[in-house]
Amino acid sequence: MLRFKDWTLGDLEMAVCNALWDAGEADVRTMHEQVGAPRGIASNTVQSTLERLYRKNLLRRRKVSHAFVYSPAISREVFAAGVLDSVASALGGAQPLLSAFAQHSAHVDVDTLDQLEAMVRELRERQREG
């Protein structure tokens, strides 16, 4: 389970969010085919999950004919930042999280480390400017 703001998201909710971040938007039928059917979950359960995520303001929806089409209300990056903030807060600050991240970084490829370095450099430049 992941915690974001005041919500705890279960495995199905995270799977639905990930599928929508990848797809951009989808209706219940499409989400059931992608997420529900492979897990042996009924279409109604997927529909309820989409509704819950909509009520939590994590999804938007619009009516198309007789069905709703859902799309993410926030980006994957914004969600991840919120989860990290919650974890850092639960651990008593950023230091334990940064230490764990540094240890984890020892297991990633050089290209990923280069991307991380570029992101840190960009953030430092923004802080200096702002």
Q: What residues pair up with 4 in beta bridges, in sequence order?
A: 7
**Tens digit of pLDDT for each residue in 46-76?**
999 999 999 999 999 999 999 999 999 999 9
**pTM, to two decimals:** 0.80
- Cα–Cα distance, 56 to 46 (Å, whole number): 15
45 sits in the region (left: phi over 0; alpha: psi -120 to 50; else beta) called alpha
Q: Give percent of the chain above pLDDT 70.
A: 95
Residue 73 has phi, psi (to 5 degrees) of -90, -20
Q: How many CB atoms lie within 10 A of CB 29?
A: 13
